[in-house]
């Protein structure tokens, strides 16, 4: 348990100190799991005020970007995730 807490803290620290905007998404539902400040600042320019300032974390991209399906973002993301996630043989 202590190792998990330490790892999570370390992951968050690494994410926050990266010099580019970075986000982690759930491969199943495209939920935003975590993001650093640079990513959140960038995405805030596209979001409704109710989703700004990190409120999109924990929600699917379809919820906070209503046009994600019609613009192809979901299809592209799903195709990419299918390519990455392969069953263990």
Buried b (16+ CB within 10 A) or exposed e, 30-40: bbbebbbebbb
Q: Report pLDDT for 87.
A: 58
Looking at the chain, the whole-number percentage of residues with pLDDT higher than 90 is 46
pLDDT in tens, 53-65: 999 999 999 999 9
Question: Could you count the other beta carbons within 10 Å of the beta carbon of residue 23?
Answer: 18
Q: Report pLDDT for 1.
A: 42
Q: Report pLDDT for 48.
A: 95
């Amino acid at each position: 348990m202590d190792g998990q807490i330490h790892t999570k803290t370390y992951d968050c620290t690494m994410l926050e100190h990266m010099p580019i905007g970075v986000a982690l998404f759930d491969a199943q539902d495209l939920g935003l799991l975590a993001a650093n400040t640079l990513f959140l600042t960038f995405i805030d320019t596209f979001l409704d005020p109710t989703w700004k300032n990190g409120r999109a974390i924990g929600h699917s991209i379809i919820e906070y970007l209503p046009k994600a399906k019609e613009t192809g973002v979901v299809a592209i993301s799903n195709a990419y995730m299918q390519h990455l996630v392969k069953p263990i043989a």
